[in-house]
Structure 1
Amino acid sequence: MGNLFSRLDCLKYLRMLSLSGYKNVKELVNDLSNLKHLRYLDISFTSIKELSNSICLLINLQTLKLVNCCHLTELPSDLHKLINLRHLDLRGTSIQKMPEHMGKLEHLRTLTCFVVGKNRGSDMKEFGKLSYLRGTISILILDSVIDPIDAKEANMKEKKYLEELVLEWCKSNEDSQHERCILESFQPNKNLKKLTINFYNGTRFPNWFEAPYLPCLVSLQLSGSNYCFCLPPLGQLPCLKQLQIYKFVEIELIGPEFYGDSSSGAPFRCLECLTFSHMKQWEEWNTCYEGESFPCLQELQIWNCRKLRKSLPQFLPSLKILNIGNCENLEAPLPNAFPLDQLMLSNCKISLHDVPNSLTSMSMSAIRINESCLNHILLNNPSLGQLYLSSCDELVSPSISGIGFSTSKLTSMFFDKLSNLKSLPDDMHIIFPYLHSLTLWDCPELESLPQEGLPPSLVELTIIRCPKLFASRLRWGLHKLFSLRHITFSVELESEESFPEEALLPPNVTSLTMKNCSNLKSINYKGLLHLKFLESLCVWDCPLLCLQGLLEKGLPKSLLRLEIWGNCPLLKEQFQEEKGQGWPELSHIPHVCIH
């Protein structure tokens, strides 16, 4: 790179220069004045810490990209001399303030962020002169704007080409009325499509959050308010499709004010995705205009709203995805949503009596669900393809009762932290004829696999921290599963120190992973001898494991990848690159990864 800079005198007609991604670039040469014809300069993803004023001599420069120059804290003071600059991309930088006279960059079209310097609210007047900005801009550190008159100087309403706007404060301000006045002055143009407000601490939102002022708004994100107790009337925004509300800690009730005046039409008539998260004091959702609101809502997510008690909208005719987690006081029936496709519930008291029969994916964690309820859901959801159950302590011995019942769509089953689970359904090979993946993780009481065996369609099997089940491994009948290709175990041995036993694994296995095997000392050569297609062997956290015996017999010739991860001190010493005793034995393996 130094050679390039030394030859810049020979490149005086250069139009474009990109150093993007060169992490070893920490500074540019002090004198770039010879590159008079340069139009495009990209130094994104470099380690640049400072830009000298000589860059401002590139009077024909039109594009300057500084994306992810995270060490860069300041722009050159003469930046305003780049009178032909049209595009300035500052995403991912650490710029603390903008240089003075930014308003002289009158041709500027793209400015990804504008940082208001400390006690420099007057910078907004310079920003106001940038009349042709378009696309996306973030205005940051609005705490520095003390006078609302300065905020008005930004002239946001007249920037008619801007489509996306981020307004962000950086610290809590107890003068909520002042912050509201500042936000009032930043009323954007009516063509705005996406708006994000971060860390606003007014008690209310200004009037321009109503439909007449944001007729084209498609996406709105409101995040991090310590004092706001009332949400704006967003229900009448005619084009709003995505709404995300995070960390509004003083909101206790969401009621009619959220929906707006229904005489103007159905509230939230275009909304497709709605998310509430980390609303610490939220207790009640007054679902007004039931049957009229949210006619197009496809995705509803509510997370970490621990005081929320009631209720949910009950008629959501377009809902496809419902995701509720860590709302442990929420007791409500499921919405009436016939096209519901994905249901994810975690740590809440949602009633499961009326689960729709259209599910393709279901995830339940820390939910009260017993064998009867699970049986009912499986019988009534013939299209269910994925089932995830975690921390459901009432499940002991699930069975599926239904004459001739089988589900041809279920391909993935994941059981995690089922502390009381003792057995799996007896007729799994019949009930789930196309099961592709089965994971059993942290099921300490699970004693055995079904007597008739697992479905012959199984391709992936993972068994982690199931000690009683692992003890019965010789009765699993895995050798009959000719479709099984990928196996992951935590090898929990009591007396034996070698694994796997001869003929335990099916012959067509291509990938074998062993995790958290605290007592495992060696891998049994005879247990791998029949695995003619084994391509990948992966070992995680096996502190006593040594492969000396296996090396003496020879690693499988089919092996293409060997991975060693975590706490495996003996293996890492044995296979230390160029130095380890076993390193030469790995020469036929194309990919060896030791982490």
Structure 2
Amino acid sequence: MKELREKIGKIAKQRHDFGLAQAGPVRQAEFKRPETFSVVDEKTIVGRDGDKEKIVKLLLETGGDHDVSVIPIVGLGGLGKTTLAQLAFNDGRVTGQQRFDLRVWVYVSTNFDMKKIAKAVIDETEEKCNDLDNPDAVARCLVRICSQKRFLLVLDDVWNEDPDKWKELKVVFKDGKKGSKILVTTRSEKVATIMKTVEPHRVKGLSDDDCWTLFKRRAFDNGEENGYPNLVAIGQQIVKKCSGVPLAANALGSMMLFKRTEDAWSAIRDNEIWSLKEETTILPSLKLSYIQMPSALKQCFAYCSIFPKDYEIDKDDLIRQWIALGFISSNETWTSMEDIGNEYFNDLLWMSFLQDVEDEDDEKCYGNVTYRMHDLVHDLLMSVAREEVAVIVGEESTRIPKGRRYASIHYSSVMTHIPTTIARRLRALQFRKSSSHIMAFYSEAKYLRLLDLYGSEISMLPSSIGELKLLRYLNLSENSIQELPESITSLCNLQTLNLSSCCKICTLPTLLGSLTNLRILDLSYCSSLLSLPSSLCDLKNLHNLNLSALNSLVALPECIGSLQNLRILNLSGCGSLLSLPSSSSDLQHLVKLDISGCGKLCELPKMIQKLTKLRVLLNNNCSELKGMPRGIGKVVSLQELSVFVIGKQDRVEHCASISELAHLKLVGKLEINGLGNVTSPVDAKAANLIEKNLRSLKLVWNVLSGEEGMDTVLPAEEIDTVLENLQPHQKLENLKLEGYARGKFPSWMMNRIGSCLPNLVEIQLANIPRCSSLPPLGQLPFLKELTVRNMPAITNLGVDKFPALRSLELSCMPVLREWVTVLTVDDEEGRRERVPIFPCLTHLYLKECPKLRPEPCLPASVGFLTISGTSSGNLSLILERATPLDDGGDAADSLQPPPNKELWDLTIEKCQQLTCLPESLRSLTSLRYMTIKDCEDLERIEDWLGELADLRLLEIWGCSSLRYHKMTALEELEIKDCPLLLDADGQFVDTSVDHIKYVTVNESEYEYRKQASSSPQQEKSSPEEEESSPKEEEKKSWTSCWSKSNWLGSRT
């Protein structure tokens, strides 16, 4: 290394002596994509009908906030974005009926050429522009064209990420007639974000069946495949490598056209895609993106090849690995290497090289953000880095190939030794979820920068770990280590130490502070850790300290304020933590503080205003927090605050007034708790909520510990004024009001809600005892979820139409009686017609509403229905009205009501005096899933329930009086806490259940459960596969929790 540095220094001196100037980078051979056109042969396209319909629908819409709408189509190279745009561009509904006066297709590519775009538009019209080199003349010409026409402009393959260039184009086209559209295809999420006026349409991969169709067309002449059944079987395995990318299917199919032996096809199936000629695979379309990357980004991207296919990549952890390996160097500004890493990561995300992992839950596990590479992107990486990187999964190999600098071993029990020659060359080793032990190699791997031993059953770390002097990243998470060797403190270059979920570790080395270069320390979920060494405070370069879920931790070191470079402090879930040291207010570079779930924490640092750089304070579920510290309003950098707690009047000298919200530029979600402690309406006005760009707002009275009722310090009329003065921003999407005990809502909810809060999507009104009428919520065009809970003075819901409502919960409404669901009105010709008030409602929850009467019937679109806490008579009436209207009158008045074809999931719970199920259930012919829960008086289930041919799953819980009756059509049965159904030996009393495929008793499989090859639960999905509301997401979450050992899930 010394000799190499001397040579480099000599070369640099010669450059200076000879006055050589730095040249620009030599451009590599360019993969030039052929220009695209608007014409497409629709017969060759498969699997894009659904995508096409969505795009066409967007093109035909004339509403919206913009006269000219920009619709991005975004996705990985080769997925068919251009094809999809061609299909929509040439659709008869788009080309006909004079929908667009002007249709123009422009292939843009990497050069965003305004002149080219302008010329294409002008050429499609009779307009003349004699001076195309004059930008002003071109702009005036385009304005003339666009202001007279409704146009459709397709910009294909856009790469430009410069917002200024897009603004130039936008100015020219902004005056188009209402309904004009600009359709953009791009691989870049950043381009889509810059240009969009509507949410981008993200193109996904084709199914394996569709890929096979494409492959088959190229590999066989028409019908020829029938003569080659063995090749068909191999070919269907080959198309799985395409990962849904049409271009890959076509390329691989073309390659197989002249190959007719099984050996030849098997060789392609078993080879990696980089072994094929690049001209015939997907790689050239991806390499175009790769070649354009800056060299530093290329290096970071190539390193991602160390992860196996389909691996979920933790964003923050990947950035730390880049830093450890020296791929990111801090520049001369204060900007941290983590921030530069974030920029690199976002670049890869925008280029579609990384894709966000879709998660059905709103909250990612442990808050981590994970991403995945498309298989073909991974193949590209391996073609770039195959001489540098080794990836071993399972038992596929017992050795790392020679020459590799980066290696990852996953789920291996056979890798027991790494030769010295290989170990000395390694710079990064990931040894994850592998039970074999290779500790002896440490003394040989002298140049190792990164060591990842996640989940590898390690109980003791050898002292030789201290010999890895260049080590910068060490991940020991999810191991059984009880203590760390003191030698670990000699790792003077260590930047990241991850001990997360090492549940047996009780103490940390006393000299932990010797790790002077440590930037990341993760001790989360080390549940046996009782205290932290005082030397922790010597970690002057520490940026991120994660102490979440240390349930036994009572206190932090008093000197924690000496961590002057600390940016993130995570104390979430430290349920025993009583207070924060006063020195914590000295953390002047702290950006994020998470104390959520610290249930015993009573107060925040009194000098919180010293945290001048704090941007995020997460303090939800801190039930003992008595108020916010005075001075929090001076933390002007604060942008995200979970809960603002207003302290009691007798603590006013210690607690902040609500007025301190005035100067905080909060975004996202905010809960204001303890509004009964507001001492003046003027303070509420000063909070200035109307200027805060919040997405969600929750206003709560009387939730501080020990308080009951509406304990307020203000007279009644001033309480009204307080809420009047808390009017939120017009862009608010989610509003929750809880514990308000006055008799009327504010004017911004009653008289002007449609103009004051036009973007509301969800409203929750709870524990509001005196209000006798609801706000005119039908004025909200985008309202999708409405919860009304414990409003005992409400007698009716009014007759407002809810055009977008999908989920409605009515709970604890003892006098609610009238609920009109259909209006009869006169049409333009004077004829009477019925208009549904809830045309989109799919989820309905009726709980403890004993007098509720739907008039004339339940909304016909309801698919999920829960009825709880009502009498048997009211249950029967509601189910009678679960049938839709026919032309003859009300369903409730018909002798034989028409069958309900929408309702497919029904839950009945806590219904008093219900001894048998109502006959009206027989008309619910589409019912698939039914739960009967805590109906203690239910004695029998009638045989006719078996007539419901679609009923697949019946759950019966807590029905202590029930005796079983056989239902021949039932496929699944779950029984819990129904003692009369079973004898002393746990067998059914009255009859066998052998005819039912899957039976669960008290959450265990019934002993005589019949075997089957597959579980019907896997098919449990809405017949329409509708867009999910949050309540439906709960259903999905429940379904995903089913396992083979618990055939019938619990919905609690």
How would you bin the TM-score normalised by the shorter chain?
A: 0.5 to 0.7
Q: What does residue range 286-301 of structure 1 map to in structure 2 within 5 Å?
A: 286-287=820-821, 289=823, 291-301=835-845
Q: Shift in Å at residue 420 of structure 1?
A: 7.5
- Name 2:672's counterpart in structure 1: 139
**Separation in 1 of the partners of 2:595 and 2:621?**
8
Structure 2 residue 578 is the aligned partner of structure 1 residue 59 = no
**Separation in 2 of the partners of 1:507 and 1:433?**
13
Q: What does residue range 492-503 of structure 1 map to in structure 2 within 5 Å?
A: none
**Separation in 1 of the partners of 2:815 and 2:568?**
51
Change in 2 beyond 3 A, CA 1:389/1:11: closer
Partner amino acid for 1:460? V
**Separation in 1 of the partners of 2:970 and 2:658?**
66
**Separation in 1 of the partners of 2:776 and 2:941?**
50
**Separation in 1 of the partners of 2:921 and 2:770?**
47
- Name 1:228's counterpart in structure 2: 771
**Separation in 2 of the partners of 1:90 and 1:367?**
45
Change in 2 beyond 3 A, CA 1:449/1:128: same
**Separation in 2 of the partners of 1:371 and 1:70?**
44
**Separation in 1 of the partners of 2:979 and 2:762?**
41
From 163, 166, 171, the equivalent of 2:698 is 166
**Separation in 2 of the partners of 1:251 and 1:73?**
38
Q: Shift in Å at residue 373 of structure 1?
A: 3.1
Q: What does residue range 132-281 of structure 1 map to in structure 2 within 5 Å?
A: 132-160=665-693, 162-170=694-702, 171-172=709-710, 175-209=715-749, 210-256=753-799, 259=800, 267-281=801-815
**Structure 2 SS opposite 1:192:** coil
**Separation in 1 of the partners of 2:855 and 2:788?**
16
Q: What is the TM-score with the length of structure 2 in the denominator?
A: 0.38
Q: Shift in Å at residue 164 of structure 1?
A: 0.8
Q: Shift in Å at residue 36 of structure 1?
A: 1.0
- Name 1:424's counterpart in structure 2: 965
Change in 2 beyond 3 A, CA 1:188/1:313: farther
**Separation in 2 of the partners of 1:382 and 1:224?**
36
**Structure 1 SS opposite 2:559:** coil
Cα deviation per residue 1:461-517 (whole Å; 9 max; x = unaligned)?
A: 5399xxxxxxxxxxxxxxxxxxxx9337xxxxxxxxxxxxxxxx79999xxxxxxxx
Does the 8 A contact of 2:666 with 2:692 survive in 1?
A: yes
Structure 2 residue 633 is the aligned partner of structure 1 residue 103 = yes
CA-atom RMSD in angstroms: 3.8
- Name 2:818's counterpart in structure 1: 284
Change in 2 beyond 3 A, CA 1:240/1:419: same
Q: What does residue range 335-374 of structure 1 map to in structure 2 within 5 Å?
A: 335-337=882-884, 356-364=900-908, 373=919
- Name 2:548's counterpart in structure 1: 20
**Separation in 2 of the partners of 1:17 and 1:456?**
58
Structure 2 residue 962 is the aligned partner of structure 1 residue 410 = no
Cα deviation per residue 1:92-115 (whole Å; 9 max; x = unaligned)?
A: 112111111212111111111111
Q: Shift in Å at residue 440 of structure 1?
A: 8.8
Q: How many residues align?
A: 439
Does the 8 A contact of 1:312 with 1:335 survive in 2?
A: no
Partner amino acid for 1:19? L
Change in 2 beyond 3 A, CA 1:507/1:215: closer
Does the 8 A contact of 2:914 with 2:935 survive in 1?
A: no
Q: Which region of structure 1 is more displaced relative to structure 2, 290-299 or 33-42?
A: 290-299
Change in 2 beyond 3 A, CA 1:113/1:313: farther
Change in 2 beyond 3 A, CA 1:312/1:395: farther
Partner amino acid for 1:410? R
Does the 8 A contact of 2:548 with 2:571 survive in 1?
A: yes
Q: Shift in Å at residue 48 of structure 1?
A: 1.6
**Separation in 2 of the partners of 1:389 and 1:9?**
55
**Separation in 2 of the partners of 1:63 and 1:184?**
32
Q: Using the aligned pairs only, state the percent identity.
A: 26
**Structure 1 SS opposite 2:1006:** strand
**Separation in 2 of the partners of 1:199 and 1:237?**
23
**Separation in 2 of the partners of 1:299 and 1:135?**
27
Q: Shift in Å at residue 179 of structure 1?
A: 2.2
Does the 8 A contact of 1:437 with 1:458 survive in 2?
A: no
Q: Shift in Å at residue 458 of structure 1?
A: 3.2
**Separation in 1 of the partners of 2:600 and 2:657?**
23
Change in 2 beyond 3 A, CA 1:313/1:12: farther
Q: Shift in Å at residue 222 of structure 1?
A: 0.7
Change in 2 beyond 3 A, CA 1:142/1:400: closer
**Structure 2 SS opposite 1:235:** helix
- Name 1:72's counterpart in structure 2: 601
Does the 8 A contact of 2:802 with 2:839 survive in 1?
A: yes
- Name 1:384's counterpart in structure 2: 928
Does the 8 A contact of 2:865 with 2:905 survive in 1?
A: no
Change in 2 beyond 3 A, CA 1:416/1:151: closer
Q: Shift in Å at residue 77 of structure 1?
A: 1.1
From 569, 572, 586, the equivalent of 1:41 is 569
Cα deviation per residue 1:190-225 (whole Å; 9 max; x = unaligned)?
A: 111111111111211112121101111111111111
Structure 2 residue 635 is the aligned partner of structure 1 residue 90 = no
- Name 1:462's counterpart in structure 2: 1001
**Structure 1 SS opposite 2:629:** coil
Q: Shift in Å at residue 274 of structure 1?
A: 0.8
Cα deviation per residue 1:120-171 (whole Å; 9 max; x = unaligned)?
A: 59722221110x21111111111111321111000001112x1111111114
Change in 2 beyond 3 A, CA 1:288/1:206: farther
Does the 8 A contact of 1:386 with 1:412 survive in 2?
A: yes
Q: Shift in Å at residue 230 of structure 1?
A: 1.8
Q: Which runs of 5+ in 2 are unaligned?
A: 1-506, 511-531, 703-708, 825-834, 886-894, 1013-1044, 1046-1052
Does the 8 A contact of 2:571 with 2:595 survive in 1?
A: yes
Does the 8 A contact of 2:641 with 2:666 survive in 1?
A: yes
Partner amino acid for 2:919? C
**Separation in 1 of the partners of 2:997 and 2:881?**
33
Change in 2 beyond 3 A, CA 1:507/1:186: closer
Does the 8 A contact of 1:176 with 1:227 survive in 2?
A: no
**Structure 2 SS opposite 1:7:** helix
**Structure 2 SS opposite 1:31:** helix
Does the 8 A contact of 2:645 with 2:673 survive in 1?
A: yes
**Separation in 2 of the partners of 1:392 and 1:253?**
30
**Structure 2 SS opposite 1:32:** helix
Partner amino acid for 1:91? N
Cα deviation per residue 1:213-255 (whole Å; 9 max; x = unaligned)?
A: 1111111111111221221111111111111111112223333
**Structure 2 SS opposite 1:183:** helix
Q: What is the TM-score with the length of structure 1 in the denominator?
A: 0.65
**Structure 2 SS opposite 1:172:** coil
**Separation in 2 of the partners of 1:45 and 1:356?**
47
Cα deviation per residue 1:53-81 (whole Å; 9 max; x = unaligned)?
A: 21111111111111111111111111100
Higher helix share: 2
**Separation in 1 of the partners of 2:977 and 2:594?**
49
